[in-house]
Structure 1
Amino acid sequence: MAAANPARARFGAWLAAARLNAGYLTQQAWADALNGLAGAATLTRAEVGRWERGVRVPDAWLGLIAESLNVPLADLAAAAARVRRARPRPSASVGGPPWRGIASAESTTAAWSADAIGILGPIQDGASPGRSSGLSGAPLEDLLVYLDEQWHALVKADNLLGPRHALIGVSSHLAILQELAAEISETKRPAVIGLAARYAESAAWLYEDSDDPSAAARWTTQAMEWAYQAHDDVMLAWTLFRRSQQAAASGHHAEALGLAQAARRDDEELPGPMRAAVLVHEATVRAARGGSAESLCLLDGAHALASTDVAGDARYGHGSYCTPAYIELQRGRCYLASGRAHAAIDQYERALPALPPVYRRDRAAGQVSLAVAYARAGHPDQAAAAALEALPIAQATGSGRIHAGITRLADTLRPQASVSEVRALLDTLDAGAA
């Protein structure tokens, strides 16, 4: 196996986070924008993917990248030069895939900062074997307490602002944890990689919400590996649940059901909100497989375990988003899966106002599901209006997942473009794509 180059991987995935910050929700959208600036259609989505995975440094495109991301070319070129000089280092994940580090910037805004680029420096300077980056000089317990608190803050940032703002912070702290794990003693490593697993799972979710399922799957696998090494059975169960969600999103419902059942195999050991989240997900999978009665029973059981988190910072652990209102939103989803569009409409309209304000993307996702229910019930005007209500949140947060749902709905409504609300939705989407 070739030696990993963490600096190149971090730089590449910083590009991914910066792309989202600049408003390009997909790699293809960014490739199209760069081709437009170049005046030629020579750049492919696959090549952008190689940049973001750290396979290649985009030297020939740095000027246009700086222009498209609105960052200083001199700083970008200097960072790229440091990446090229960095030496590879063996992966810390022995026997598994090399660590795929991502963005190393602390800013949670769209702006490029000198600090963001500067973070790459110490890691590269200490990349040669036998040299320490200096992280191990800090008190380990203090670092872990700090990073644990920052994880809660980043969860809240994600709920309020979405992946465009949270991904850079998650990436920066993952880089610190990876560097720390490579330096500390074997006895202390489980505590570090246990926290790294939590951050990796957050990275997986942020990429999933950005509509990048391949990156989401990689980070879920990494989180699972780290959770296993750390002997963290609770986190391991959560990664099985997340893989189940990803399988369901791909239409592999039998696999999704098996993974969900595996996640709650030892559910007495899991915190209540986590158990509730797994039950709710299993309910939606069963509904998609035609088991509507079973799904509704599972939702009823989840209520006894529901979270009371209204702050959106996961203080109750994974699954804290699974509030009573969220469970009732998923009841609407189960109705929709079983062909009961009118029941789904009633359910969504009751549940949406009850969501805690911090879960604004859950509200937007619910609005999209409500729009789908209206469309299936034969109300294209109300469907388009509901989708339009969700669109600003998708655009502001960089939620490619929600934006893709709105786009799919708009495509189904296109034959009814003579309806004024549908026309408004199509025109708004077309204007945003221009």
Structure 2
Amino acid sequence: MPDQYRVIAHVGEVVIVAMDRRTFLAGSGAGFLVGGKVMPLASYKQVAPEAIEYLASQIDGFYAAEATLGPHTVIPSVLVQQEVLRQFLTVARGDARRALLRTNAAYAGLVTWLYQDAGDLGTASHWANHTLEFAHRVGDTQLIRHALTNKAMICTDEQDGPGTLDLTSAALMDETELCPKVRVQAMQQSAHGFALMGDRRGADYALDKAAAFLPQVDDEYPWYNACRRTPGYIEAQRATCYNRLGLGAEAVALWEQVITGLPATARRDAGVYRARQAVACAQAHQPDAVVEAVGQAVTIAQETSSARLRQELDGVWHHLAPWHDHAVGHEVKELLAQL
């Protein structure tokens, strides 16, 4: 067997192998293989617990890789994992089946996010529906509410404030029964719904509640770990909401605080935040600062495949309208033309 592969489990007579990190990051598009390729498993009687554990353990790494590389490099590998899970479900029963359904839901949520970041909201909606279906099939309340919030994220990207609040309100039903992670996720997403509706008080209230629960997040769910992995997570959401509300002067300082605290690996996030900082600077009538922020965001956009980042940069030009015919406007236009 080549050095870049290692055996991690056996399913019947099939050997399951996985690539090392270097091979995965090289973009091979095959993060999880069965006997060297995705193979039908219908003739086998059971699924080894080690295989399920391995699949679940990879999810956070995919999120981290996407934050560095953008979605298009990661999507092929994740889809291979998803196909293996689908085939495992054809033979799994009992506890193994329930574990697979949970893992499948977590992967479907990951794929939802990847397509959102790739700018394909139609495909993202398709996978969000799969996430919700798997969550209901396993009967996991926490996972169901996570899936509802994933759907709310798509409404937010579509600028649908009422739809966002419909889904986050459903996610927060019987709130005291929910774990802190789900409460943080749904509350911060509801803040974006309030911001889209022009309700600053509602947005701040939801974010303050989310911030209070954030230190309590301590669970083994393999999804939505960005809330505890990303420094300044809540303040990044607050700054985004202030952008939506047109409160650029208040958002500018928040963005600098958030961006300064980001780790070097959060490359895509740094680009998105710089683009949003540029919008805040335009709202605050600081055109020279817009040029600097756009320049940094464009550099990152050229390194990653994030459609979200490019869309954020498109939005900067709209907010820079008063300076379109000035030197600042020409400079920003030249920067954006590089994309």
Amino acid at match of 1:304: A
Q: 1:319 aligns with which of 214, 224, 231?
A: 224
Deviations 1:146-191 (A, max 9, x none): 1111122222222332213322221111111001101223664222
Following superposition, the deviation at residue 364 of structure 1 comes to 2.2
226-235 vs 264-273, greater mean Cα deviation:
264-273
Q: 1:354 aligns with which of 252, 256, 261?
A: 261
Q: 2:48 aligns with which of 136, 140, 144?
A: 140
- Structure label with greater radius of gyration: 1
Taking a change above 3 Å as real, the CA distance of residues 304 and 430 of structure 1, as seen in their structure-2 partners, is same
Q: Which segments of 5 or more consecutive residues in structure 2 lack a partner in the other structure?
A: 1-20
Deviations 1:45-100 (A, max 9, x none): xxxxxxxxxxxxxxxxxxxxxxxxxxxxxxxxxxxxxxxxxxxxxxxxxxxxxxxx
Distance 1:336 1:429 in 2: 20
Match of 2:276 in 1: 369
| 3-state DSSP of counterpart to 2:227 | coil
| 3-state DSSP of counterpart to 1:306 | helix
> Does 1:398 pair with 2:305?
yes
| Contact 2:239 2:255 (C-alpha < 8 Å) held by counterparts | yes
| Contact 1:385 1:421 (C-alpha < 8 Å) held by counterparts | no
Match of 2:316 in 1: 409
| 3-state DSSP of counterpart to 1:183 | coil
> Does 1:287 pair with 2:203?
no
Amino acid at match of 1:328: E
Q: How does 1:2-401 map to 2 (within 5 A)?
A: 108-109=24-25, 123=38, 126=40, 132=43, 139-185=47-93, 188-306=96-214, 317-323=222-228, 325-401=232-308
Following superposition, the deviation at residue 261 of structure 1 comes to 1.1
Q: TM-score, normalised by structure 1?
A: 0.65
Distance 1:255 1:187 in 2: 36
Following superposition, the deviation at residue 213 of structure 1 comes to 0.5
Distance 1:341 1:362 in 2: 19
| Contact 2:132 2:144 (C-alpha < 8 Å) held by counterparts | yes
Amino acid at match of 2:301: A
Amino acid at match of 1:284: H
Distance 1:385 1:379 in 2: 11
Number of residue pairs the alignment of both structures matches: 315
| 3-state DSSP of counterpart to 1:265 | coil
Distance 1:414 1:295 in 2: 27
> Does 1:427 pair with 2:326?
no
Amino acid at match of 2:88: L
Q: Which segments of 5 or more consecutive residues in structure 1 lack a partner in the other structure?
A: 1-105
Distance 1:111 1:301 in 2: 40
416-425 vs 285-294, greater mean Cα deviation:
416-425
Taking a change above 3 Å as real, the CA distance of residues 111 and 144 of structure 1, as seen in their structure-2 partners, is closer
Amino acid at match of 1:283: A
Distance 1:158 1:292 in 2: 31
Following superposition, the deviation at residue 327 of structure 1 comes to 0.9
Distance 2:257 2:38 in 1: 51
| Contact 2:60 2:223 (C-alpha < 8 Å) held by counterparts | no
Deviations 1:284-329 (A, max 9, x none): 21122122122212222222222599xxxx9675333225612112
165-174 vs 203-212, greater mean Cα deviation:
165-174
Distance 2:319 2:260 in 1: 27
More strand as a share of residues: 2
Following superposition, the deviation at residue 268 of structure 1 comes to 2.8
Distance 1:140 1:267 in 2: 36
| Contact 1:380 1:419 (C-alpha < 8 Å) held by counterparts | no
Following superposition, the deviation at residue 418 of structure 1 comes to 5.2
- Identity percentage of aligned residues: 25
